[in-house]
Amino acid sequence: MTHKIAVLSGDGIGPEIVTEAIKVLGGVTKKFGIEFQFEHALIGGCAYDKYGVPLPQETIDICKSSDAVLLGAVGDWKYDKLPPEVRPEKALLGIRKALNLFANLRPAIVYEELTASSPLKPEIVSGVDIMIVRELTGDVYFGTPRGVDEVDGERVGYNNMIYKESEIERIAHVAFQTAMKRGKKLCSVDKANVLDVSRLWREVMERVSKQYPEVELSHMYVDNAAMQIIRAPKQFDVIVTGNIFGDILSDEASMLAGSLGMLPSASLSDGKIGMYEPIHGSAPDLRGQNVVNPIATILSAAMMLKYSFGLTEIYDCIENAVKSVLQKGYRTKDIYTEDSQVLVGTSQMGDLILQEILA
Ligand code: IPM
Ligand code: MG
């Protein structure tokens, strides 16, 4: 059986990190006999340069006819002046919507070897293992009306933070089911002391919780959650939250793990296609220098094996390979902390993880 994977490398460092993830998948074929067929397509600035749009229909079609999507990153400052509708970021939102990827799983795991890479004290971050479940196709990201209008002689910009009950309900189920497979603790993050949309969010979370009596549900305001993630991150098992709060809190949580370059993600729908991407951006200033950390993308590919193809043992094998490479002291620049470690580039890190898998 061959798994068909759409590969959207994107912009900036995207192609370099995706190359390393594909290298590791090659190792999976060699070791476990799992076959992959890769089909590359353009997204973001590179698609705009070729087609005048950041998300060509052809790319959507290739994704839809695949079993899963592996994505690098999109965006470059050189597109900052483009109209919002053709900016690279718009393509990311577009593909999430087109594939109905409403559930974004962002694990923030602190590997023992990397506690020193976090700017926080080791005793605070050591042992942290949080799963952030971010709603991905609603909220202020997609709400209408939105725009910038002229009102009383000045411009007014606005977006709409909006959730339908059904949207909250389906992400609630993903979050509760995720919690059932882990520590059975779910913290729902909102701003219900101020926002009507959050009050509905909270009510629906409470209602759905009746179907998961084993899961302990708590609620936290987002400002407090931002503080608690830094103060005492080990109190969290699974966090569920809306699109914009999840965007912000997941970047924050990456600092527990030492670097944005460590955090993978899975974007899932109730259909068959999942999309897998690192949570970090395209870092155009670092492109082509062989310095960035490919681990977030390699772990995203591992998440693909687990969530799209049910190959949990191979996920574990890749994660263990990453851990042993770190244990042996190899570090990319973003996680390098002391002289005794060996500083390696993007492609060497990929090679080391591959070797470890094949060992
Ligand atoms: C992320 C990114 C995106 C988002 C941007 C690039 C549109 O920050 O995946 O977290 O805001 O969702
Ligand atoms: Mg983000």
Confidence check: pLDDT of 1 > 90: no
Please check whether residue 7 is in contact with residue 297, taking contact to mean a CB–CB distance below 8 angstroms: no
Q: Give yes or no: 251 in active site.
A: yes
Average pLDDT of the residues in 170-195: 98
Q: Which band of pLDDT confidence, cut at 50, 70 and 90, is reported for residue 40?
A: very high
pLDDT at site 117: 87
Q: Which residues pair with 150 in a beta bridge?
A: 155
Q: Which band of pLDDT confidence, cut at 50, 70 and 90, is reported for residue 258?
A: confident
Span 134-160, pLDDT tens digits: 999 999 999 999 999 999 999 999 999
Q: Give yes or no: 247 in active site.
A: yes
Across the chain, what does the average pLDDT equal? 96
Domains (range + CATH), the chain: 1-102+283-359 (3.40.718.10), 119-257 (3.40.718.10)
Confidence check: pLDDT of 104 > 90: yes
Candidate list 76, 90, 191, 307, residue with the active-site label: 191
Ligand 2 mean position, distance from CA 127 (Å): 24
Instruction: Please give the single-letter amino acid code of residue 84.
Output: P
Average pLDDT of the residues in 274-286: 96
Q: Which residues pair with 185 in a beta bridge?
A: 216
Span 17-29, pLDDT tens digits: 999 999 999 999 9
Confidence check: pLDDT of 271 > 80: no
pLDDT at site 326: 96
pLDDT at site 33: 97
Please check whether residue 297 is in contact with residue 277, taking contact to mean a CB–CB distance below 8 angstroms: yes
Please check whether residue 221 is in contact with residue 213, taking contact to mean a CB–CB distance below 8 angstroms: no
Terminal CA-CA length for the chain = 24
Give the residues surrounding ligand 1 with Cβ less than 6 Å away: 89, 92, 247, 279
Question: Where does residue 166 rank: exposed (0-12), middle (13-18), buried (19+ CB within 10 A)?
Answer: exposed
- Atom 4 of ligand 1, nearest CA residue: 247
Q: Which atom of ligand 1 is nearest to the CA of 73?
A: 6
| pLDDT more than 90, % of the chain | 95
Q: Which band of pLDDT confidence, cut at 50, 70 and 90, is reported for residue 351?
A: very high
- Atom 12 of ligand 1, nearest CA residue: 247
Distance, C-alpha 46 to centroid of its chain: 21
Q: Which band of pLDDT confidence, cut at 50, 70 and 90, is reported for residue 275?
A: very high
Look up the pTM and report it.
0.95
Span of 53-67, 219-233, 255-269 with lowest mean pLDDT: 255-269
